[in-house]
Chain A
Amino acid sequence: MPYHEFECSKVIPERKQHAVVKGEGEDLTSCLPKGYLNTIPGSISERGCAYCGAKHVIGTPMKDVIHLSHGPVGCTYDTWQTKRYISDNENFQLKYTFATDVKEKHIVFGAEGLLKQNILEAFKAFPEIKRMTIYQTCATALIGDDIAAVCDEVMEELPGTDIFVCNSPGFAGPSQSGGHHKINIAWVNTKVGTVEPEITSDYVINYVGEYNIQGDQEVMQDYFKRMGIQVLSTFTGNGSYDELRGMHRAHLNVLECARSAEYICDELRVRYGIPRLDIDGFGFKALGDSLRKIGLFFGIEERAQAIIDEETVKWKPQLDWYMERLRGKKVCLWPGGSKLWHWANAIQEEMGVKVVSVYTKFGHQGDMEKGIARAGEGTLAIDDPNELENQEALRMLTPDVIFTGKRPGEVAKKMRVPYLNAHAYHNGPYKGFEGWVRFARDIYNAVYSPIYQLSGLDISKDEIATDKGFVTRRMLSDKNLPEAITSDPVMSEYTGKYDSVSELREKTYPVFERKSATAAAE
């Protein structure tokens, strides 16, 4: 096994099994780190907890819901939507966060009364909202509060309301991934099948593992609507609580983030016979293949192909402009879970960069399998890294840019490595054909940011030229490019708008004549 031992982690010998370098001829039978294990004491992990995984990642992107944490206010604050999971209802779920604000006296005397009072207050404060999710935390789980019993009482007192209880306290797993699992299974066990949805198309999907980061879901939904497909529910970005109760009536589950949401797809497949189709919304080829597969499933491939042709003509020359300027740039691809495999091959093939390292905070060995398979030889793969390991890796690999979360990202910036936010994006959405160009544009802006040239100078000792003007990105990126590239009449920088999402909400779509739903599913 080609393990990589960090100098800084020699005092934690178990860490050696959590990093590998993919060597020549290595495959998944000889090169795979350990994963999804409890963080080793002494290693300052970047992971979140199981409560965070359930609430922050999966529960709270639901848009028409009061999301209430039963626990200390800090738990709520730290899972308030900082991840830009937007919605088309004026971002109700982003504006407000709710907590029962449990204190020491409640730990001693119980907090069920406090919970009931908070639920009633919240429904009263937002009378137009009739749905609620409640999240257990470590403190209230340890004192044994029966949330479900309190909710039953409230639903009886307030007819028309519906409450989902998520029992995923912070300690319920090695990382946030434990919470993903718990909320998936809880939703399919308690809510799926409790609403009969209206079917409006012959082609009906659940769009699963998609969280509408800066509008990703709305971009993909636009393609589906252009194909005449009904998105019955989205689990969970920009998703509606009641639509998600009707997931059992879809003909196909289209799965993006298998790490966070494969569980519900697999259960829907076993319990209701709905097939699971894994797709990639990132990258021209992967997205085109994904749309074609969905089209093939329903017998409407020509509608998918029309979208691919139209979008490719429009956006490919702009993607190529960036690829010419990003060739060979070294990338550390250090996201939370799924993007290490969603992006590893696509950014190398379509943007010309070289992935020198992949890591995952909370991924399982299955995620590392995908990431290592899609990355090239020499790639350093790290599971559940700590901050010192990250710094050592950055010094060793000297990447041109790093894609990661905001905490390790800020550390990288201090080490003069440009950082892009892999979780919440910089100027997304990044899904879709246009989105992929926006991502390339953000990478270009990061790699060639003039501030990184300036930040390397120390005014206390370095000589500062006073006869030279400010160096622009273009001056840096085009310095060694042939004229055939720099003056190419077809390729161009990104020409889209600052906001590429809002206008989708006003769009009208073609109406396709319906066959019977039964025939379509056959």
Chain B
Amino acid sequence: MSAVATKKKSEKVPKMEPLYTSNPLADADPETQARVGQLENYIMKNCLWQFNSRGWDRRKQNAGIIGKTAQLLCGEEVENPTPLEKCYWVDSVLLAEAYREACPWITAMDKDAIKGLMTKLHQRMDWLMIDGSLNEELTVQHY
């Protein structure tokens, strides 16, 4: 055995800028609020990916997984050029399956409507988990 691996240094932590100053769903119509609420509730009860400990990390997780889930729900091909992208994708596959099963109304929506709804979900998750979060550790610079 020998010491052979070359360690990479930690990358600089991205600066986190807030995207929202209030709940982006506050003015949405009741049906959209109810549907996004259902999608959000499934994530919060069953998933862990949205809880990474830093805000900038949560931003990437939300974008990666909700974005790929929207593609899968629309029947689009998903590209996974890196292992990190592939990791987002596996969570997306399970989330898309769960949505089809628990929210059958989503299968009756057209692609534009699905994309619109998933954009709202993405905004809501960014608010809930990052910009509106009370977690004071999200802006800590190190892990």
What residues of chain A have their CB less than 8 Å away from a CB belonging to chain B?
27-30, 32, 34, 36, 185, 192-196, 242, 248-249, 251-252, 258, 262-263, 266-267, 269-280, 285-286, 289, 292-294, 296-297, 345, 364-366, 369-370, 373-374, 521
Given contacts A273-B84, A364-B137, A366-B53, 17 further A-B contacts (CB under 8 A): A28-B129, A30-B134, A185-B143, A192-B5, A192-B7, A193-B7, A194-B1, A196-B1, A266-B52, A267-B143, A289-B94, A293-B91, A296-B89, A365-B134, A366-B137, A369-B135, A370-B51
A277 touches B136 (CB 8 A): no
Tell me the bound Cα distance from A209 to B29 in angstroms.
43
Contacting residues, chain A, for B108 (C-beta < 8 A)? none
What are 5 residue pairs bridging A and B, where the CB atoms are less than 8 Å apart in the complex?
A: A272-B8, A275-B87, A277-B87, A278-B49, A364-B137
Q: Chain B residues near A274 (CB, 8 Å)?
A: 83
Q: How far is the CA of A271 from the CA of B8 in the complex (A)?
A: 5
A248–B7 alpha-carbon span in the complex (Å):
9
Neighbour of B5 across the interface among A185, A193, A289, CB < 8 A: A193
Distance from B56 Cβ to chain A, minimum over Cβ atoms (Å) = 12
In the bound complex, how far is the Cα of B133 from the Cα of A7, in angstroms?
28
Sort A-B residue pairs by CB-CB distance and give the 5 closest, nearest first: A193-B5, A275-B87, A29-B132, A278-B48, A373-B44
Evaluate contact between A280 and B48: CB separation under 8 angstroms: yes
Q: How far is the CA of A521 from the CA of B44 in the complex (A)?
A: 29
Residues A276 and B87 in contact, CB atoms below 8 Å apart: yes
Q: Which residue of the partner chain A has the closest CB to B13?
A: A270
Query: Are A289 and B7 touching (Cβ within 8 A)?
Result: no
Q: Given A293-B90, A366-B53, does the pair A29, B133 have CB atoms closer than 8 Å?
A: yes
Q: Which of B123-140 contact A (CB under 8 A)?
A: 127-129, 132-137
Query: Do residues B128 and A28 form an inter-chain contact, with CB atoms below 8 A?
Result: yes
Most chain A CB inside 10 Å of its own CB: which residue of B23, B51, B82, B128: B51
Pairwise interchain contact B10-A262, C-beta atoms closer than 8 A: no
Docked-complex contact B48 and A365, CB < 8 angstroms = no
A248 and B48 form a contact (CB under 8 A): no
Cα A242 to Cα B2 in complex, Å, equals: 11
Contact residues of B: prevailing secondary structure: loop
From known contacts A266-B143, A271-B10, A373-B45, infer whether A293 and B94 are also in contact, taking CB-CB under 8 Å: yes
B94 touches A292 (CB 8 A): yes
CB distance from A382 to the nearest CB of B (A): 16
Complex CA–CA separation, A251 to B90 (angstroms): 14
Considering residues B8, B48, B132, which has the most beta carbons from chain A within 10 angstroms of its beta carbon? B48
Q: B48, A252: Cβ atoms under 8 Å?
A: no
B98–chain A nearest beta-carbon distance, Å? 9
**A196 CA / B3 CA spacing, docked (Å):** 7
Report yes or no: A366 in contact with B135, Cβ–Cβ below 8 A.
yes
Is B86 within 8 A of A275, CB to CB? Answer: yes
Cα–Cα, bound, A521→B83 (Å): 7
For window 94-132 of B, CB contacts with A under 8 Å fall at: 94, 127-129, 132
Q: Which B66-101 residues have a C-beta within 8 angstroms of A?
A: 82-84, 86-87, 89-91, 93-94
Q: Using Cβ atoms and an 8 Å threshold, which residues of chain A touch B9?
A: 271
CA separation between A270 and B4, bound complex, in Å? 19
- Pick from A193, A194, A251, A374: contact of B44, CB below 8 A: A374
Shortest distance between the CB of A370 and any CB in chain B (Å): 5
- The interface residues of chain A lying within 8 Å CB-to-CB of B90 are 277, 293-294, 296-297
In the assembled complex, the Cα of A278 lies from the Cα of B52 at a distance in Å of: 9
A296→B93 contact, CB < 8 A:
yes
- Contact (Cβ within 8 A) A271 B7: yes
| Residue in A262, A266, A293, A365 whose CB lies within 8 Å of B135 | A365
Tell me how far the C-beta of A26 lies from the nearest C-beta in chain B, rounded to whole angstroms.
11
Segment 1-50 of B: residues with Cβ below 8 Å from A: 1-11, 23, 44-46, 48-49
